[in-house]
Amino acid sequence: MHTYTIYCDGSVLPHRQGKPSFAAFAACRGNTVVAEWSGRVEAVDVTAAELQAVLEALQWAAGRRAKGVQVFTDSKAAVLTIQGRRLEKYVEILWQIRALIKTLKASVNWVPREMNAYADGLCRKAARKYQQ
């Protein structure tokens, strides 16, 4: 059983047809990045993209039977939504996130943007691939 610290980010490209959205995460053990993921996701807004990044990270951790997972995002809106703000447009993804939090004994916390630079870079990289 492993414990991980995972940094997540989500973004939406403004001024683009269909507002393409991207999410990313970087999983660490100690100070070493042991896994990373980034890609395009279906999201109606930036909070949904951030929530999708959290979900992807938790699903990755569940696949490794991790416990005590700490997830960090620079989105206060995503953290507040997960912690209890009930917004109907996020109900399905929140159900999945909350179930995984319980199973993994995980926590989702806010971190300042400058402390989330690695995940932000992965998200930007995914967006650049899309724009090419």
Residue 69: pLDDT over 80 = yes
Into how many domains does the chain fold? 1
CATH code assigned at 87: 3.30.420.10
Decide: helix, strand or coil at residue 32: strand
| 97-108 average pLDDT score | 96
Q: Name the most confidently modeled range: 39-43, 64-68, 124-128.
A: 64-68
Element (H, E) at 46: helix 46-63
The boundaries of the domain holding residue 37 are: 5-131
> pLDDT at position 86, please?
66
Residue 121: pLDDT over 90 = no
| 98-123 average pLDDT score | 92
Under the banding of pLDDT at 50, 70 and 90, the label for residue 132 is low
| 82-92 average pLDDT score | 82
Exposure string for 75-101, b = 16+ CB within 10 A, e = fewer: bebbbebbeeeeeeebeebbeebeebb
Task: Specify the higher pLDDT residue, 129 or 100.
Answer: 100
CB 46 within 8 A of CB 11: yes
Short-list 49, 45, 55, 44, CA closest to 96:
55
User: How much of the chain exceeds pLDDT 70, in percent?
Assistant: 92
Q: Calculate ∠ Cα 5-26-38, nearest 5°.
A: 150
